[in-house]
Each structure stands twice: as C-alpha cells, then as structure tokens.
C-alpha cells in the first residue's frame, strides 16, 4: 500500500547500548517537527560467532533486517561498525548490499562506495595525547585497540601511531592490544597490563574498553590517574561517573544522530547525498591525575559574562539531550545566577541581601534537578575557579572568609542533591524490577492460546511508557537455525493494536497484511511515529515481531521485554497446539490407536537396538543399584536428551526423526557396553546406569566422541547430538531411584543451556 508519510529506517546494534540510545535520541530530536516516521531496527551483531555468548539465540535479531525493502523504507541509515564489530569488513559489505535499491548511508562508519556521517577521529585524540606528552611528560603510552575491521578503530590507531612518531616515541608490538569494544574484554585488559608493567598511560579506543580496564586495574590494586593515566573515547555518562572520572574524547552521538537525520531529510527532498564529518573535543578529567590543586577555570573565563552559555554546555553537558522539551529553562536560570554573581564579585561588594538572594536562586536551580545533567568534577572545578577568582576583589580576610564559607555551603548543598539523585535512581530501579516481575508473571500465566493472550501482555506495557504497540505473528512459526538465511513470509497477522493507550484485538478476518506494510497500515497511529521493531522468538523459533514506541524505558529494558514477548508466544503456541490435539482426539479416537501402533513399532525397534523401555529399565536399574550397594560399588546415572529432534522432524519428516531416535539409543548402548544398562524413557530421552571404572568426565567425552564419529561418517544431512546429565551414586547411597533420576535430569537442564545447535550439516 502507499504510505502517506515517508519512513526513515535506522539499523543499530543493541537497543540497550548507550551509544545506540544517543544516536536514536539525536535522530528523533532532529525529526520532531517533520511529518515523518522513524523506525529503529536493532539487529545486534551480524554474522557473530555465538560460541561462549550468554544468549546463543541473540542471532534472531538479524531477522529484523528482512523487513527492510524499498516498499517499506524510504531512506535507510545504518550504524555499520556497531553492528559489524564481530565480523569482517567483507561480510559487513555483504550485509549492506541487500539494501542497495534503497537510498542509504552509514553512520559512525566509513566504507568505500558508501556515503557516511562520522566523527573526526583526529582533533580530540591529538589534544589528549599532546596533553599526556607535553603536560604530563608521558613517554610509554600504550593503545587498547579494537577489531581491525572497524573503521573508527583503524583511524584512531593511525592517529596514535602518527603522534608517537611525531614525538620520536617507540611503539613496540606489545604496546598495542586488541579488545572487542565492549565492557567484557577482561582477558585483553589483563594482557595489556601484563605485557606493559611500565606503562605510564593507556589510550582506549572507546569508553567501554576503558571501563573494563578500570575493573581489571582495581583487582590489581592499581588506581587510574595515579599509577597509569587512562584516556577513553565517546565521553559516555558512565565514563564520566567513574571514580576517578575518565578523561575522554567528546564525540557526541546525539549530534551524530541529528546530522544523520538531516542527510536523510535532504535525500527525501531529492537532494544529493554527501558525506559529513563532525568535530571532536578532548575532555580533561581525573584519570590523568588529581587536579584539585590546579585551577582549570581561570579568572578571565569565570568572570566573563559572554562565556556563561559555553560554560553551561560544558558543566551541564547532558542537558542538551532534553533542553528542547524542558519547561524549567535551566540555561536561563543559570545565566541569571551567574550574571548576578559576576556583577557582585566585580563590584567587590558582598552583603547579607546579596547572599540570601543567591542562596534562594541556587536552591531553586538545584531543586530543578540541574545536577542530574552535570559532570560532577567539572562542576566542582568551576565553583573552585569562581572562589579563586573572587580573591582579587575581596581582599579583606573577613569578607573573603564569608565568600569561602558561602561557596563551601553551595558545594555541600550540591552534594546533598547529587545524593538525592542517586536515591531517586535507586527507587526507580526498584520500581522497574517490580514491573519486570509482573511482566514475567503475566507472560507465563495464559490459559488459552488465543489472540486475547497477546492483548493482555500489550496492556501491561504502561510502565515502559509505551502507548502504541502492534503485534505481528506469522501464520506458522519459522524455525531459524544459526547460520541459515531467514526467509520472511509474505504476510503476517496483526493480532493486537494499541493506539494512544487503547488496546484493540484485531478480528481474524482483518488481521492479514503484507510484511511490506508493517510500518504503516490503516490501523496504526495517524500522527508521526517513532518506533522500534523487535523480533518475537524463542530459541530457534521465530513467531513474528512487535513494533512499539521507542521510549527511554525501552532503551533500558527493551531486550528483557522482548524476551518476555518470545516466552509468551511460545506458551501461546503450545497452548494452541495442545488445544488442537485435544480437539483432534475428541473428533477421532483412531488417531490415538494409530499412534499406539507407531509407539509399539518404535518400542520393538528399541529392543532390537539393545535398550529397554522405561518400565523395564527402571526395574533393572533399581535392582542393579541394590546389588552395587551390597558389593560396595559406586555407579553413575546418566540422563540424555536429543538436541532439536523437533527440527529434524519439521525439516526432514517424522520417519527421519524416528530413525534418529533409534540411532541415538544404539550409540548410547554401545558407549555403556557391558558395564550397565540403557533405557528409553520416552520421546527422545534416554537413561543409563553405568558401573564401570570411568569418571563422569570420561563418560561424557566418550558419549560426545561416539556421536561425533557417527556424524562424521553418516550420509545424512543432519547431525545427531545429545545433552547429558550425570549423577554419581555412592556405594552406601540409600536414595530412591526417582530422586536419582531427578538429580540427573537437573544436571541435564544445565547441560542443555550450552547444547550444540548445529543440527543441519
């Protein structure tokens, strides 16, 4: 269908990443007065090796990219390096090529053949390195770098090398260590410290890397600024709040986002695209050493009324994120206070009336939560600069003492409000935790697998400040394995629409729409709309997607919310399947009879493979445990579950699934040999009792090895893999067999968290 408003798509990494949040903020702020829809599409990390990743199904976020096409998106902005930081440059380009028929440009990324808007990776870095070299006389400056495929990393490394060459400073191979640009690069942080015990300073190519380095240094008893000077890049809020505060290069992602939207707007109006570069500034803080004894704001600056706006932007640097929407007009109040203070200081006159008026205005300024937008160190340095500057105008000891007492009272009051800000943050976090608990409870308590279930979970999103949300579900869930290309269905069903807080369940006959129309269709909000698209998935299964308001709470908790949508979809789907099965059984009892015949056939095959059915196994195992106890012999109980039999059945058919079940039982029986007994507990689950001399570790390796050997020589298109749980039964154990089974199954659940998901060869 044709869209009344143009849609600007923005592909980012993690929606909960601070850099992504600020980019989105900039785009949305720049577009606030235009008749345009903004759709943010987080794909997390493309072509990422999921080995060792806590959420091995995170790759499902890449499926969201399939909704992007020339019919759904008018202009596309892509944060290339953030989404491609775990892959090669060639694979990133391969990903971008699928959007070639859409007007597109990159943000924070430089790739030949593509227009981009990026930061100047030279100015701020040069100033910071010069300060280290000239002011602090550092000579051994190391580089905590990142992936070579990242264009920003490459440019920042080149500036570092150029500056070291310019000063005649030697750079050894051990002085440059590559991290992954995240706060989870402890091993690389350990490495750079181990290889360079004499390092005087370390330049980290982004603040996340520096934050990780701080943690590792703390464990070693090292203090940034005292033992090693640390410099970051990005000037994140988290970096500024570190102790000691992090020196960084201010590359404002909000300004980058604003510039990106202006390029998109130019494109929508038919203008020609061109690349843009934004300047950067070095921010000096305490990770270069304590500066309390050194005044960073001189008299000329603090007493210059024309510099008040510039100082406000530097001290209250976070306020620009909200200034256009804030009714408190903090900038005007700060200007009023400082104009009065400067005039008072320059006049050399200080009286009780002046002091009381300043106290009232400053108190009002603090009550408006001004300090929540500040760099605390910068604020303290600024106040100290005012105190020092006032000495020249108030020379008598009595008045000078009053001024000093007044300024100390201001600082004390400021700390009180900062502490109160932390307290409010803690209360807000507790409220969020309670809301998350409620969301989990509601998403797992459905009784029926119908559309009303989706409506109930959407109704519970008020705490996320979401007033508009649209749930799209596929007619049939799609199994998407890691490494496979995702095939998006041509149509989806809009199950629920929440518009301006009003939740409506869509009648079945009106649900079907083209996937190209999910960003704009008649049932959606009429006004310009800022949204985020999140996939609805549970493990290997993708159920659809949800399009909802992009709020600050979504930036803080969006992935958790999305996980609950996935869990809810899973429960709803299982309830639906269960309902269908019950209906089928009630309609035709012959279905059960046919299934009984099939189970009997499989049971006979089990016997042929040398394993017992559940009842026989439990009887034999109980007697065997009793005999082992009488003989003073330990044994090991094993509970095994086939990984992803469901996928084999769906992709290759029930017959092939039954064959896999038989082969799995045979391989387990061969692994146990004559030192125990094996049984099929039902479905794709097996149990074994082993009383040989092997340890649990050796038994597990034996099982894994036999299945690996089988898969290597099998002519089938799939692998058979198992997850195994173990429980050691001591020689004098009096545990009941049911309890032993439960212990082994519990261990199996742990093993399944790291199961092998590579089923198809």
CB neighbour class for 117 (10 Å; exposed up to 12, middle 13-18, buried from 19): buried
Concatenating the DSSP letter of every residue in 31-50 gives TTTSS-EEEEEE---TT---
pLDDT, residue 597, reads 46
Axis-axis angle for helices 614-631, 737-752 (nearest 10): 110
Output 572 or 58, whichever has higher pLDDT. Answer: 58
Distance of alpha carbon 482 from alpha carbon 181, whole angstroms: 23
Strands 722-729 and 541-549: unpaired
Q: Reduce the DSSP state of residue 219 to 3 states and report it.
A: helix
**pLDDT, tens digit, 9 for 90 and up, residues 637-670:** 999 999 888 888 888 888 888 899 999 999 999 9
What spatial distance separates the first Cα and last Cα of the chain, rounded to whole Å?
40
Q: Return the pLDDT at 85.
A: 84
Token representation of residue 120? 């100047």
Q: Name the least confident of 80-94, 124-138, 274-288, 602-616.
A: 602-616
Tell me how far apart the alpha carbons of residues 255 and 642 are, in angstroms, rounded to a whole number.
51
Question: Residue 592: is its pLDDT beyond 90?
Answer: no
pLDDT of residue 135: 92
Across 606-614, average pLDDT: 66
| Cβ(297)–Cβ(310) below 8 Å | no
What are 431-475's pLDDT values in tens digits?
Answer: 545 555 555 555 555 556 667 778 888 887 887 889 999 999 999
pLDDT at 581: 57
Tell me what pLDDT residue 520 has.
Answer: 86
Question: Per-residue pLDDT averaged across 325-335, rounded?
Answer: 82
| Contact of 657 with 720, CB cutoff 8 Å | no
| Residue-by-residue DSSP string for 415-475 | HHHHHHHHHHHHHHHHHHHHHHHHHHHHHT--SS-SHHHHHHHHHTTGGGT---EEEEEEE
Distances (CA, A) of 733 to 47, 635, 639, 693: 49, 10, 19, 18
| Helix, strand, coil shares, percent, the chain, to 5 | 50, 15, 30
**Between vectors from CA 90 to CA 87 and to CA 93, what angle results, nearest 5°?**
100
Residue 202: what are its φ and ψ, rounded to 5°?
-135, 125
pLDDT at position 599: 45
Kindly tell me if the per-residue pLDDT of 107 is higher than 90: yes
Looking up tokens 């040069």, which residue turns up?
A: 126
Q: Where would I find the H helices in 609-684?
A: 614-631, 645-652, 654-672
Q: CB under 8 Å to 560, separation ≥6 — which residues?
A: 436
Which residues lie closer than 8 Å to 255 by C-beta, 6 or more apart?
26, 278
**Rounded Cα distance, 228 and 384, in Å:** 26
| Listed range (186-190, 192-196, 671-675) with the worst mean pLDDT | 671-675
Closest CA to 262 of 69, 42, 32, 532: 32
pLDDT higher than 90, residue 603: no
Residue 210: closest CA among 114, 129, 146, 132 = 146
Query: Has residue 424 got a pLDDT over 70?
Result: no
- Tokens coding 319: 């306020």
Report the pLDDT value the prediction gives residue 427, as an integer from 0 to 100: 56
Give pLDDT, residue 293: 45
pLDDT in tens, 122-167: 999 999 999 999 999 999 999 999 998 888 899 999 999 999 999 9
pLDDT in tens, 353-403: 888 888 888 888 888 888 777 877 778 888 888 888 887 888 777 777 777
Task: Please give the angle made by the CA atoms of 278, 283 and 287, to the nearest 5 degrees.
Answer: 140
C-beta separation of 125 from 234 below 8 A: no
Q: What is the pLDDT of residues 242-295, one digit of tens each?
A: 889 899 998 888 889 999 999 999 999 988 878 999 999 998 888 998 754 455
Left if phi > 0, otherwise alpha if psi is -120 to 50, otherwise beta: which for 676?
left
pLDDT tens for residues 110-119? Answer: 999 999 999 9
Name the pairing type of β-strands 276-278 and 116-119. parallel
Alpha-carbon distances of 346 from 307, 398, 409, 717, rounded to whole Å: 16, 17, 21, 85
Q: How many CB atoms sit inside 10 A of residue 754's CB?
A: 11
The dihedral of CA 431, 437, 438, 443: what is its sign? positive
Q: How far apart are CA 555 and CA 221, in angstroms?
A: 34
Two structure tokens written together for 242: 């570190």
Instruction: Give the DSSP H/E element, type plus range, for residue 679.
Output: strand 676-682
Euclidean distance between CA atoms 645 and 627, whole angstroms: 35
The number of beta carbons lying within 10 Å of the beta carbon of residue 397 is 8
Distance, CA of 124 to CA of 130 (rounded, Å) = 10
Tokens linked to 398:
């009595």
């Amino acid at each position: 269908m044709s869209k009344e408003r143009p849609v600007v798509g923005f592909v980012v990494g993690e929606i909960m990443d601070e850099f992504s949040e600020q980019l989105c903020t900039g785009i949305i702020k720049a577009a606030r007065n235009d008749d345009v829809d903004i759709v943010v599409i987080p794909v997390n990390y493309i072509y990422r090796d999921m080995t060792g990743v806590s959420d091995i199904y995170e790759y499902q976020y890449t499926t969201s990219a399939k909704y992007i096409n020339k019919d759904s998106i008018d202009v596309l902005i892509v944060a290339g390096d953030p989404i491609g930081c775990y892959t090669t440059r060639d694979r990133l380009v391969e990903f971008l090529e699928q959007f070639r028929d859409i007007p597109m440009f990159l943000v924070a990324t430089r790739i030949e053949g593509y227009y981009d808007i990026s930061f100047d990776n030279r100015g701020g870095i040069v100033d910071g390195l010069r300060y280290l070299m000239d002011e602090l006389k550092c000579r051994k400056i190391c580089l905590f770098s990142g992936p070579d495929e990242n264009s920003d990393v490459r440019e920042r490394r080149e500036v570092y090398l150029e500056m070291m060459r310019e000063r005649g400073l030697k750079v050894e191979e051990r002085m440059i260590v590559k991290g992954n640009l995240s706060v989870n690069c402890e091993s690389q942080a350990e490495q750079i410290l181990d290889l360079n015990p004499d390092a005087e300073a370390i330049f980290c190519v982004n603040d996340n890397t520096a934050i990780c380095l701080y943690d590792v240094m703390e464990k070693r008893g090292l203090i940034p600024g005292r033992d090693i000077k640390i410099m970051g890049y990005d000037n994140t809020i988290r970096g500024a709040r570190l102790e000691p505060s992090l020196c960084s290069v201010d590359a404002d992602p909000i300004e980058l986002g604003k510039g990106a939207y202006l390029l998109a707007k130019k494109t929508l109006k038919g203008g020609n695209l061109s690349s843009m570069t934004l300047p950067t500034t070095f921010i000096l803080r305490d990770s270069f050493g304590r500066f309390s004894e050194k005044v960073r704001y001189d008299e000329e600056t603090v007493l210059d009324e024309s510099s008040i706006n510039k100082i406000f932007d530097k001290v209250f640097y976070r306020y620009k994120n909200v200034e256009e929407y804030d009714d408190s007009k903090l900038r005007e109040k700060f200007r009023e206070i400082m104009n009065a203070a400067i005039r008072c200081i320059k006049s050399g006159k200080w009286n009780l009336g002046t002091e009381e008026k300043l106290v009232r205005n400053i108190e009002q300024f603090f009550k408006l939560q001004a300090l929540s937008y500040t760099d605390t160190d910068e604020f303290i340095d600024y106040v100290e600069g005012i105190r020092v500057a006032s000495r020249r105008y108030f020379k008598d000891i009595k008045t000078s003492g009053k001024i000093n007492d007044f300024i100390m009272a201001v600082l004390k009051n400021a700390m009180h409000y900062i502490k109160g800000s932390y307290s409010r943050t803690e209360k807000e976090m507790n409220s969020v935790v309670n809301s998350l608990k409620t969301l989990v409870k509601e998403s797992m308590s459905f009784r029926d697998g119908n559309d009303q279930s989706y409506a109930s979970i959407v109704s519970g999103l008020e705490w996320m400040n979401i007033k508009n949300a649209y749930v799209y579900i596929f007619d049939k869930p799609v199994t998407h394995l890691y490494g496979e290309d995702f095939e998006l269905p041509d149509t989806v069903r809009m199950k629920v629409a929440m518009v301006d807080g009003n939740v409506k369940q869509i009648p079945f006959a009106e649900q079907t729409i083209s996937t190209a129309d999910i960003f704009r269709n008649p049932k959606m909000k009429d006004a310009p709309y800022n949204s985020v698209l999140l996939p609805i998935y549970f493990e290997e299964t993708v159920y659809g997607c949800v399009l909802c308001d992009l709020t600050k709470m979504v930036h803080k908790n969006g992935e958790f919310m999305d996980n609950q949508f996935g869990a809810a979809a899973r429960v709803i789907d299982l309830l639906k399947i269960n309902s269908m099965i019950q209906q089928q059984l009630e309609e035709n009892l012959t279905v059960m009879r046919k299934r009984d015949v099939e189970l009997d056939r499989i049971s006979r095959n089990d016997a042929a493979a040398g394993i017992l059915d559940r009842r026989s196994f439990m009887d034999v195992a109980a007697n065997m445990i009793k005999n082992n106890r009488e003989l003073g012999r330990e044994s090991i109980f094993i509970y095994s579950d086939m990984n992803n039999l469901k996928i084999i059945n769906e992709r290759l058919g029930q017959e092939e699934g039954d064959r896999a079940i038989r082969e799995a039982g045979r391989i387990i029986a061969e692994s146990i040999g004559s030192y125990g007994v094996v049984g099929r507990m039902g479905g794709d689950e097996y149990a074994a009792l082993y009383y040989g001399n092997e340890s649990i570790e050796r038994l597990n390796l034996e099982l894994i090895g036999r299945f690996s050997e089988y898969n290597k020589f099998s002519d089938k298109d799939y692998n058979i893999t198992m997850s195994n749980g173990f429980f050691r039964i001591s020689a004098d154990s009096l545990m009941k067999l049911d309890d032993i089974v439960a212990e082994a199954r519990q261990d199996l659940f742990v093993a399944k968290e790291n199961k092998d998901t590579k089923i198809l060869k």
